[in-house]
């Protein structure tokens, strides 16, 4: 807007110490997402409390239990962290393409196929190859398959103009059908009778726990992936180009940026993280690929990414928070007699309110130093 | 299946019967989504509306012992979901696609939450019309045992097709959908039209849900929908925003869904699960074949965020 007000010379003219204003501007610009985000969460919790009151239960008791069940003890903290691990990766599957202006909602498909690919890779290796090598190869297989799957949505978007939201959704349904086909057919372990599964990993091949914790290594993988993504977006020129393309595709093309490669690259990286989530599910939790892979991590990841406003570092606390809410579901069910879907209602309420609060961005003068009075 | 006596002809018959039985929710959800998208807005949350509608219809039918009261109640809740979606999306900077996903999660959560006590009791079913009375073959009788909602959905498709072209409301809807500015210049409030279009779309989607819980499969549980609400978005694109196209596409989707079980009944068991993916593959292939990076999809409403 008014470029003048940004000029450092003006704050000198205003008579106030010139050093104060840049600091305040810095704080104001960064405070906007935090303040609006927290306000949105509070509004969401208030609406949810009204709902709980309406059905004749105590919201205070519910939030108390939610805290106890999610973060009240070392045991529950570990439970929450374990649940957060896949969400970190599936949220990245939404957040990375979102920086390019793409809405990808098919992460579930990449999770499922990543899990199948990891299990398929492990089947011939388990028992013969070294453990570490097997796990690395499982991870690579899952990332390649997941990357191809979501990268395909990006490819179709750029080169064929197919809407990526719909194509990723269709691809995720196709992926679930493919998984069922593989798990019931060529990859099925004859010993799995009631629940068709691939051959289970031998216990020594499982991705173990972080030393001193009852949380598997998936958490570390997820956090590393978030940090890597943050560096990719915020530090590298690749990420800078992607942010420009996300802001204005035409401008990026006029600048000569390789928009197509950026879109395919970012969606492929995003998909490979979701695929990795599937590998972690197989190697650390399930021990084999089966229908439990489609447990909705892909869909909860969408919520996490939007809550974190597609900032990879913000995904870490948000995923842990949602993991905690998820972990407390059982306690709420037992103590208050509420259905396990209570957690879903809370998540949905928060999701709607937070998206609604996007409308408040840029509306408050206090967050926009360009509109401040000069006398400040 | 018992010995048929019609041999291999059982396959097309089973597909036809399956198409009619499975397609009804698709018809209603896709017609609802067509109305919403023709107004220039996309509601990805119809899956939540559909499941909530299924729950409401079942619960009201259990309590009142009237399936039709259940359908009406489902329509009312569907309209409320649509109004919420429409109201939130009128605000600047709010992404209608993301709100749809959020509404879907909210609708599913609320339906599972409130529907918990209704998993056990049995609700009265919606009536069906025996159109196969002329045949002595039980397969044909079963295939032509058609629910009233299917016929209503078919009629609605033709009425909407006519109404989009020939009525004042249809014209207003199309103007708003094609150009927000043109609509404003005509003195139409685009937000209000989209609000109403989303509400109507939601109530139609809820009828689709009511069919699921009150006729086929005819019970309420948390896995009642196999993604019909989400598929509708793809189906509408497939049908090029044309109501009659939606009806035919719904039959096609229903038929491909029935292909797997029908082939299995005559001994073809290979690739059973892949048949479930057939409608999705079909939609994707058609989207790839007809999309272009340089222009929007033919027949797409101009103001629709989806095709930009």
Q: Is B274 on the interface with A (CB under 8 A)?
A: yes
In the structure, what pLDDT confidence band is assigned to residue B137 with cuts at 50, 70 and 90? confident
Per-residue pLDDT at B307? 57
Q: Are B47 and B227 in contact (CB under 8 A)?
A: yes
Q: Which residue has the tokens 């569907």?
A: B78
Q: Name the strand (E) or helix (H) holding A171.
A: helix A164-184
> Which of A341, A361, A364 best tests the B interface by mutation, with the highest count of B CBs <10 A?
A341
Q: Poorest-confidence range of A273-277, A297-301, A302-306, B139-143? A: B139-143
Q: Which residues, 6 or more positions from B112, have their beta carbon under 8 angstroms from its beta carbon?
A: A339, A340, A341, A344, B222
199-258 of B, contacting A, C-beta below 8 A: 227, 230-231, 233-234, 237
DSSP annotation string for B151-189: HHHHHHHHHHHHHHHHSHHHHHHHHHHH-HHHHHHTT--
CA distance B308 to B292: 11
How close B156 gets to chain A, by Cα (Å)? 26
Average pLDDT over residues A16-21: 67
Structure-model confidence comparison of residues A32 and B106, the more confident one: B106
Instruction: Show me where the domains of chain A are located.
Output: 1-57+338-376, 79-328
Which two three-digit tokens encode residue A30? 């960064």
Residue A62 pLDDT exceeds 60? yes
Q: Which residues, 6 or more positions from B201, have their beta carbon under 8 angstroms from its beta carbon?
A: B32, B33, B34, B35, B36, B43, B46, B82
Q: What tens digit of pLDDT does each residue of B50-91 get?
A: 999 999 999 999 999 999 999 999 999 999 999 999 999 999
Q: Is A366 helix (H, G, I), strand (E, B) or coil?
A: helix
Q: What tens digit of pLDDT does each residue of B169-182 get?
A: 999 999 999 999 99
CB contact under 8 A, A352 and B99: yes
CA distance A280 to A222: 10
CA-nearest of B218, B251, B208 to B28 is: B208
> Which of A308, A352, A363 best tests the B interface by mutation, with the highest count of B CBs <10 A?
A352
> Which of A52, A93, A152, A174 best tests the B interface by mutation, with the highest count of B CBs <10 A?
A174
CA distance A166 to A179: 20
DSSP B125: P
Residue B266 pLDDT exceeds 80? no
Instruction: List chain B residues with CB under 8 Å of A349.
Output: 106
User: Which among B102, B280, B294 is the nearest to A355, CB-wise?
Assistant: B102
CA distance A229 to A249: 21
CB contact under 8 A, A344 and B237: no
Instruction: List chain B residues with CB under 8 Å of A170.
Output: 234, 280-281, 283-284, 287
Q: What tens digit of pLDDT does each residue of B216-244 get?
A: 888 898 888 877 888 888 888 888 899 99
CA distance A120 to A109: 16
CA distance A233 to A305: 15
CA distances from A3 to A10, A27, A68 (A): 11, 19, 50
Q: Are A266 and A150 in contact (CB under 8 A)?
A: no
Give B98's Cβ-side CA count (13 Å radius).
Answer: 28
Neighbours of B169 (CB within 10 A): 12
Neighbours of A210 (CB within 10 A): 14
Angle between helices B228-238 and B278-290 (to 10 degrees): 30
Per-residue pLDDT at B296? 66
Per-residue pLDDT at A2? 43
Instruction: List chain A residues with CB under 8 Å of B113.
Output: 338-339, 341-342, 344-345
Per-residue pLDDT at B2? 44
Helices and strands (H, E) in chain B, number of each type: 13, 2
CA-nearest of A230, A214, A229 to A271 is: A229
In the structure, what pLDDT confidence band is assigned to residue B306 with cuts at 50, 70 and 90? low
CA distances from B14 to A301, B133, B226, B271 (A): 39, 17, 20, 18
pTM over 0.90: no
Classify domain A79-328 at the CATH topology level.
ABC transporter involved in vitamin B12 uptake, BtuC (1.10.3470)
Q: Is A199 helix (H, G, I), strand (E, B) or coil?
A: coil
Neighbours of A251 (CB within 10 A): 11
Per-residue pLDDT at B283? 81
In the structure, what pLDDT confidence band is assigned to residue A12 with cuts at 50, 70 and 90? very low
Q: What tens digit of pLDDT does each residue of A172-215 get?
A: 989 999 999 999 888 888 888 788 899 899 988 898 898 988 89
Q: Name the strand (E) or helix (H) holding B130.
A: strand B128-130
CA distance A361 to A230: 22
CA distance B139 to A274: 46
Chain centroid, CA A339 distance in Å:
26
Neighbours of B80 (CB within 10 A): 16
């Amino acid at each position: 807007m008014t470029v003048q007000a940004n000029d450092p010379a003006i704050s000198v003219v205003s008579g106030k110490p010139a050093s104060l204003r840049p600091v305040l501007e810095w704080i104001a610009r960064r405070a906007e997402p935090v303040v609006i985000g927290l306000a949105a969460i509070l509004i969401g919790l208030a609406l949810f409390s009204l709902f709980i009151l309406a059905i004749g239960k105590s919201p205070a008791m519910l939030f108390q239990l939610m805290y106890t069940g999610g973060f009240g003890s070392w045991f529950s903290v570990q439970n929450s962290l374990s649940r957060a691990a896949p969400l970190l990766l599936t949220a990245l599957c939404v957040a990375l393409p979102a920086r390019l202006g793409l809405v990808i909602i098919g992460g579930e498909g990449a999770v499922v196929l990543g899990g199948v690919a990891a299990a398929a890779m492990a089947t011939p290796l388990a028992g013969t190859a070294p453990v570490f090598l097997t796990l690395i190869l499982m991870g690579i297989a899952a990332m390649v398959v997941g990357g191809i799957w979501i990268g395909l949505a990006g490819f179709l978007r750029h080169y064929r103009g197919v809407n990526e939201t719909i194509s990723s959704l269709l691809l995720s349904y196709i992926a679930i059908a493919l998984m069922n086909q593989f798990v019931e057919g060529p990859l099925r372990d004859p010993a799995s009778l009631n629940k068709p599964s691939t051959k289970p990993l031998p216990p020594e091949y499982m991705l173990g726990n972080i030393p001193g914790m009852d949380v598997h290594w998936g958490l570390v993988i997820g956090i590393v992936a978030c940090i890597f993504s943050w560096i990719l977006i915020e530090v590298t020129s690749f990420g800078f180009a992607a942010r420009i393309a996300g802001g204005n595709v035409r401008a990026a093309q006029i600048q000569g940026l390789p928009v197509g490669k950026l879109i395919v690259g970012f969606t492929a990286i995003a998909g490979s993280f979701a695929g990795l989530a599937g590998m972690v599910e197989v190697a650390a939790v399930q021990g084999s690929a089966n229908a439990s892979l489609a447990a909705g991590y892909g869909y909860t990841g969408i919520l996490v990414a939007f809550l974190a406003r597609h900032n990879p570092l913000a995904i870490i606390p948000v995923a842990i928070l949602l993991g905690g809410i998820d972990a407390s579901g059982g306690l709420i069910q037992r103590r208050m007699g509420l259905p396990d879907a209570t957690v879903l209602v809370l998540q949905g309420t928060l999701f709607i309110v937070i998206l609604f609060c996007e409308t408040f961005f840029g509306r408050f003068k206090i967050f926009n130093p360009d509109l401040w009075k000069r006398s400040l | 299946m018992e010995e048929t006596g019609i041999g291999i002809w059982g396959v097309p018959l089973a597909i036809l019967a399956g198409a009619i039985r499975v397609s009804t929710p698709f018809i209603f959800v896709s017609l609802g989504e067509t109305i919403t998208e023709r107004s220039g807005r996309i509601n990805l949350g119809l899956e939540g509306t559909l499941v909530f509608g299924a729950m409401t219809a079942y619960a009201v039918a259990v309590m009142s012992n009237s399936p039709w009261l259940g359908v009406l109640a489902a329509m009312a809740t569907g309209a409320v979901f649509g109004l919420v979606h429409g109201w939130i999306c009128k605000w600047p900077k709010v992404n209608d696609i993301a709100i749809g996903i959020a509404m879907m999660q909210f609708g599913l959560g609320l339906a599972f939450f409130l529907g918990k006590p209704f998993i056990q009791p049995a609700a009265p079913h919606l009536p069906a019309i025996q159109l196969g009375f002329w045949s002595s073959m039980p397969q044909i009788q079963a295939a032509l045992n058609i629910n009233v909602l299917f016929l209503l959905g078919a009629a609605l498709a033709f009425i909407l097709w006519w109404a989009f072209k020939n009525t004042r409301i249809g014209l207003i809807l199309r103007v708003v959908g094609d150009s927000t500015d043109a609509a404003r210049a005509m003195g139409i409030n685009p937000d209000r039209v989209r609000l109403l279009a989303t509400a109507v779309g939601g109530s139609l989607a809820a009828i689709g849900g009511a069919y699921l819980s009150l006729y086929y499969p005819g019970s309420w549980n948390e896995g009642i929908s196999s993604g019909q609400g989400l598929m509708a978005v793809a189906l509408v694109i497939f049908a090029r925003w044309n109501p009659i196209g939606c009806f035919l596409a719904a039959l096609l989707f229903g038929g491909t869904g029935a292909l797997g079980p029908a082939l299995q009944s005559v001994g073809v068991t290979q690739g059973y699960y892949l048949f479930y993916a057939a409608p999705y593959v079909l939609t994707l292939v058609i989207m790839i074949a007809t999309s272009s990076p340089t222009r929007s999809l033919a027949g797409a409403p101009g103001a629709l965020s989806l095709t930009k």
